[in-house]
Amino acid sequence: MSDVTETHCPYCSLQCGMGLAPGADGPRIVPREDFPVNRGALCGKGQSATALLAGGRLTGPLVRDGRGELVAASWDEALDRVARGLRGAREGYGADAVGVFGGGGLTNEKAYALGKFARIVLGTSQIDYNGRFCMSSAAAAGNRAFGLDRGLPFPLADIPKTGCVILVGSNPAETMPPALRYFTELRENGGKLVVIDPRRTRTAEQADLHLAPRPGTDLALALGLLHLVVAQGRTDEAYIAERTSGWAETRAAVMSHWPEYVERITGVPVPQLRRTVELFCDAPASMVLTARGPEQQAKGTDTVGAWINLCLATGRMGRPYSGYGCLTGQGNGQGGREHGQKADQLPGYRMLTDPDARRHVAGVWGVDPDELPGPGRSAYELLDALGTDVRALLLMGSNPVVSAPAAAHVEGRLRSLDFLAVADVVLSETAALADVVLPVTQWAEETGTLTNLEGRVVLRRRAVDPPAGVRSDLAVLRGLAERLAPGRAAGFPAEAEEVFEELRRASAGGKADYSGISYGRIAAEDGVFWPCPEGSPGTPRLFLDRFATPDGRARFAPVTHRPAAEETDAEYPVSFTTGRVAAQYQSGAQTRRIAGLNEASPGPYVQLHPELAARVGVAEGDPVAVLSRRGRVVAPARVSYDIRPDTVFMPFHWAGEGRANTVTNPALDPVSGMPEFKVCAVRVEAAG
């Protein structure tokens, strides 16, 4: 019998398969060529993942003492303190004075248990999670158009079989390098790749066509393309009549977006718009894939909606090797939004406002449906209410001091809390502010399921024992339930598979139905695609016969152009945008601990065009200051022709004076609650 444990990477939504074999100095990674998503390939983060299991992590609870220092404590002492802190806020100010903040990296079991804990132990409506910052606008647009939100409605393996992919605001060459091969194979098969990004990224370098719009103008760009499709008679009228609704209003909305007008808004020349339409429509099958670029905007839902309109009008959605998809970011970005840690949802992607959903889930939980609170605030609204309406917070698997928009403001709100408890693997910047820090297990030390960007549910297996003194998030919730609601503690098992069995029942009949999925099936089948009701083989491809709307038709969204929430002006004349680099991940709490990754990407930088650099008087490596209405950051200049002259870029993985999110705008998309991370107005100055 093999001593290799088959498991998955601790980081992004690709959830690359890997094996862990015992080694003299701890586990070593062995490739899993058989796992279809990555076929043995791993990026630098995945290759170095075992370093996360070594030193530099928390090994025992910490509590803040009378002098304000974090000092070692026993688990009983720490959990008692958390229970007292949460109970105190509830008794003093009401149940909604207690907040819960989760993460898109938590397993399905943890996300499920956290949502249940918030609602039936704390009785609070105030729970949301950092996935709200990730792809919530694409989720809202998918629900609006198709009646269902699954990032990719088809497996990644369909990409090489299509004829053209428009990749909007996505840079897989850096964010998920093993996925790049799907696009390479597409081109080897004669397919075309169009990349839309204000920067010439490593992904854009491989494209047949690169469009570089002004940040925040992707909506206008999509409208301009659809205008051309209509003007050139390239719509699929039979498909529109048979499978969609709302075309007349959408067609009317699009007709005012002339190519020349769209060129003025976006900066993309009309010939490039025409060429894009040609490549997209000439192919018998084609796809639009979005990521954070168009999604992290205060009009993110409408922006994604405009790209979906393009796919619907050309008859691409729900046909083989065709359609719209979102490349989710975080490890469990998909599953994390399906099982109840989202402010408005119950497990199975059910809505909290739906009486039938409340009845079903309350039945599984053994409580009265009337006891379940209603929807709460979205993630940024919740963070913004800390210290005022929300007095105590339990936070798991997130580091908002680095990753939230207007991060200096959010840090201030966290500091103003009466009580903060953080469960994390490391003493992140957010954990460092806590009254109690609970050290928890991580990927290879625990078992649990995640749902990758394709909707494939995979199983991460425990391969090593955690350090003594560390407990799982599930055990933390159990310990807190024992203290806060002893009669309900039995509903919070510490074993992941036991939680999953309950999740199956809670999700049965919901949109994200996992009832037919078991740990055994996942192991035997290299993951199972939801929806998967009992007895189903799973559903790798969605919408082939009908959409998940009441009438089975996809719904067009008649959206029109509007500017960014904060436009450039004389005082702040440059657009600011953010993103990731290959060697770091999200807030950097994990990857900044890894020597090899830090060597590859040691710190933040400001990428700017030589014209802008000359105007402000900075050269390569000089310290450059970026100022917005929310704050000032400083980082070395990286002078490059690979960015628009009117735009600067910073990666967002670091804290301190190079914290990119100090600058970003928390203006929210009214539909999804997504903040406008991807564009705001700044001034750039030499900081030397």
Note the residues at the interface with ligand SF4 (CB under 6 A).
9, 11-12, 14-16, 38, 42-43, 45-46, 176-178
Which of 14, 390 has the CB closer to ligand SF4? 14
Which of 46, 213 has the CB closer to ligand SF4? 46
Grouping H, G, I as helix, E, B as strand and the rest as coil, residue 244 is strand
Tokens of 344: 């408005």
Q: Name the closest residue to ligand SF4 (Cβ).
A: 46
Furthest-apart CA pair in the chain: how many Å?
73
Which of 149, 174 has the CB closer to ligand SF4? 174
Q: Minimum Å distance from CB 35 to ligand SF4? A: 10
Which of 177, 405 has the CB closer to ligand SF4? 177
Q: Minimum Å distance from CB 29 to ligand SF4? A: 10
Among 136, 137, 203, 216, smallest CA distance to 175 is for: 203
Which of 397, 405 has the CB closer to ligand SF4? 397
Among 680, 665, 96, 667, smallest CA distance to 382 is for: 96
Which of 244, 584 has the CB closer to ligand SF4? 584
- Distance in angstroms (rounded) separating the CA atoms of residues 260 and 239: 29
Q: Minimum Å distance from CB 10 to ligand SF4? A: 7
Which of 82, 444 has the CB closer to ligand SF4? 444
Strands 28-31 and 62-64 come out as: unpaired
Q: Minimum Å distance from CB 46 to ligand SF4? A: 2
Strands 98-102 and 127-129 come out as: parallel
Beta-strand runs (E) in 207-346? 209-211, 244-245, 286-290, 323-326, 345-346
Q: Minimum Å distance from CB 38 to ligand SF4? A: 6
Q: Minimum Å distance from CB 470 to ligand SF4? A: 22
Angle at 499 between CA 356 and CA 528, to 5 degrees: 85
Name residue, tokens 């089948």.
525
Q: Minimum Å distance from CB 280 to ligand SF4? A: 27
Do 307 and 288 touch, CB atoms closer than 8 A? yes
Q: Minimum Å distance from CB 39 to ligand SF4? A: 11
Residues in contact with 287: Cβ distance below 8 Å, sequence separation at least 6, in sequence order: 158, 159, 162, 164, 165, 166, 311, 316, 321, 322, 323, 324, 325
Which of 61, 177 has the CB closer to ligand SF4? 177
Question: End-to-end CA distance of the chain, in Å?
Answer: 62
- Rounded (to 5) percent helix, strand, coil in the chain: 35, 20, 45
Which of 44, 267 has the CB closer to ligand SF4? 44
H helical segments located in 94-192: 108-116, 136-146, 172-175, 180-188
Q: Minimum Å distance from CB 540 to ligand SF4? A: 19
Q: Minimum Å distance from CB 398 to ligand SF4? A: 18
Give the DSSP per-residue string, 615-628: HHT--TT-EEEEEE
Which of 11, 572 has the CB closer to ligand SF4? 11
